[in-house]
Structure 1
Amino acid sequence: MRWARLPQSGAQPVARSSHSITVVDDKLYLLGGEHDPRVPVGSDVYEYSFTDGIWRVLEAKGEPPIPRVAHAAAAVGSTLYAFGGRSGLEMGEGASNDLFSFHIPSATWTRLTPNGPPPPLRSYHTMTSVGNRLYVFGGCGEAGRLNDLHVYDTETNTWAALAAPSEAAVPGRGGTCLVPAAGRKGLYVIAGFCGRELDDMHFYSLMEYGGCCWKSLEAGGESPGPRGWFASATTPDGRLVVHGGLDANNERLADMFVLDVHA
């Protein structure tokens, strides 16, 4: 496995943390986050092309989420979903568990009203999709850092709680990222904050492919290094992309790395 830095030009987003990036086909979509501490930068949707390395801002319609930090986002087909996060300036202030969809072809936002109990209010969590389902992991809740796991079925518009991994296998954390493995057989948990910035990576196999098994992973090349509050996504060919975040010196980053899991 090996990391490499990606080129960036065009309407490049400012350095930020606590945002999200989501890959759909050959494009990457960035939403939210903070440049100044605890101040949401807005609700603009940025689009990045892997083909030419150019950023642009989309002209969105509908009801967007209010500006927020520490939310999570993932895509099913050509629809982007954004869940939770907080809008307040103080830790825990304005925490939410709302769910929005963004239809990319029409650039339209919709606020959803799902069935079933949603995940508790949280921020600094992570979310990804496998098939028609969204998975939400961890974050900061009222009782501290979490490592719980929830699933949202986009076809039935329903939330359900799943079994959490053990605290020994994957400690509760915020500012981490959960991304799917190639072939939809499992999920990667990457770095995050558990009292300090982490540079670890774990793989969690989904129940239908062998059941709830965790293992730690290591990679060569130029590592992104310890960081939290960053964003990550998986490309169609199974590579992992990491963008921005906070390093161990509490500095905001604008770098971007890609991990070839087959190298």
Structure 2
Amino acid sequence: MLYAFGGYDSGYAVPAPLSNFSRFNPRNNSWTDLVPISNGSVPSARYAMGFTSTPDGRLFVFGGHGESGLLGDLSCYDPAVGVWTALGGGGEPPSARESMGFVATSDGRLWVYGGYHESALGDLRSYDPDSGNWTLARDRGLLDIQIARYGMGMTAGPGAFLYVFGGSDGSDVLGDLIRYNLTRNVWESVVTTSRPIPRSLLGMASIGGILYVFGGASASELGELPTILYYLDPVLSSVWRQYPASASGPSSRNGMGFASTPNGQLYVAYGAPKIGSTVNGGCANRSSFSLYQQVMLAILFKRDSI
């Protein structure tokens, strides 16, 4: 099953945060609205939040931009019982933010990286669902690479690494690949060739040790959005390769939902087909976005097709 939460409706002068919560069944290509049957402490409406799942099937929502501004709360949804739970923030919790990286690792820990709160952020923090505590990763490793950013792609990749591609530091759109070494607790630069053009608001995921990057907004293309699916095996190769888009595949977009499944498929849902050039406080002016009104969720890629 695939889940979608939140977002915003751009049909207003000021984007209206949504609290939509739905489930997609790939077997019969059907959506189910979960709002009427969800119980507990349902998260408030928001967009640009973190949304991920842990190996045990639980869903987590962190932060984002709500009706009253930036948020820093963490909530968990357990599909087995249909209940939302607001979680505490013990230890060293992250500040309120939007457009951050938010992923789960195989041990069930959650990781929040970067984001935007008045400027680009560069902190990395982990959350242990068992203890309810946050921990700040203090060793930033290679200080000559750009750490602070928002709107980047992030995924738990092969080995004990968190991979990050692109994003924006508030001045420039980035196109580098960096990773956090969970064993050594340091940031490392990953040198690659034929890499995707710099972009933000992209989708990033991993399947079987392969990293995938799709979509986003690129300053170098003057607002045009990349449509090529890029992939990289960071263990065996330093060369990014391209999987050409097909006529039946998703159109170009940014800020979309992007996820991989255990059976080796990538899904893309919703997103904005165009981004304006107006900048407000280092963030793209969200009122220039145009939201896809129709559901656009398609199998973008199957691992065995290469």
Q: TM-score, normalised by structure 1?
A: 0.78
Q: Alignment identity in percent?
A: 23
1:161 aligns to 2:189 (yes or no)? yes
Greater strand share, structure number: 1
CA distance in 1, matches of 2:89, 2:233: 36
The residue type equivalent to 1:65 in the other structure is P
Structure 2 gaps of 5+ residues are 1-25, 275-287
Superposition map of 1:236-255 within 5 A: 236-242=262-268, 245-248=271-274, 250-251=289-290
Once residues 214 and 297 of structure 2 are traced to their aligned partners in structure 1, the CA distance between those partners, rounded to angstroms, is 13
Per the alignment, residue 212 of structure 1 pairs with 239
* CA positional deviation for 1:65: 1.0
Contact 2:120–2:170 (8 Å) recurs in 1: no
Q: 1:104 aligns with which of 129, 143, 163?
A: 129
Distance 2:126 2:296 in 1: 25
Shift, 1:75, TM fit: 2.0
Residue 187 in structure 1 maps to residue 214 in structure 2: no
Residue in structure 1 matching 2:202, options 163, 172, 176? 176
Query: 2:183 aligns to what SS in structure 1?
Result: coil
CA distance in 2, matches of 1:68, 1:140: 15
Residue 215 of structure 1: how far off its partner (Å) = 0.7
SS at the partner of 1:148?
Answer: strand
1:209 aligned counterpart, secondary structure: coil
Matched with 2:230 is: 203
**Distance in 1 (alpha carbons) for counterparts of 2:267 and 2:59:** 10
Task: Report if the CA contact (8 A) 1:205-1:213 is conserved.
Answer: yes
Cα–Cα, structure 1 residues 240 and 202, in superposed 2: closer, same or farther, change >3 Å? Answer: same
The SS at the match of 1:134 is: strand
**So what's the TM-score if we normalise by structure 2?**
0.68
Distance 1:59 1:47, change over 3 A: closer
Task: Return the letter of the residue paired with 1:188.
Answer: Y
Kept in 2: contact 1:70–1:124 (CA 8 A):
yes
Aligned: 1:136 with 2:164: yes
Note the 1:46-85 alignment, pairs <5 A.
46-49=75-78, 54=82, 56-62=84-90, 63-76=92-105, 77-85=107-115
- Which secondary structure does the structure 2 equivalent of 1:45 belong to? strand
Pairwise CA RMSD of aligned residues?
A: 3.3
Aligned partner of 1:33 in structure 2 is 64
Distance change >3 Å, CA 203–CA 20, structure 1 → 2: same
Q: Which runs of 5+ in 1 are unaligned?
A: 89-93
Q: SS where residue 196 of structure 1 aligns? A: coil
Runs of at least 4 residues of structure 1 off by over 6 A? 253-256
User: Which residue type is aligned with residue 95 of structure 2?
Assistant: I
Greater shift after overlay, 96-105 or 109-118? 109-118
CA, structure 1 residues 213+227, in 2 after alignment: closer, same or farther (shift >3 Å)? closer
Task: Return the offset for 1:252.
Answer: 5.2
Residue 202 of structure 1: how far off its partner (Å): 1.7
Q: Check 1:13–1:126 CA distance in 2 against 1; reply closer, same or farther (3 A cut).
A: farther
**1:155 & 1:49 partners in 2: Cα distance?**
30
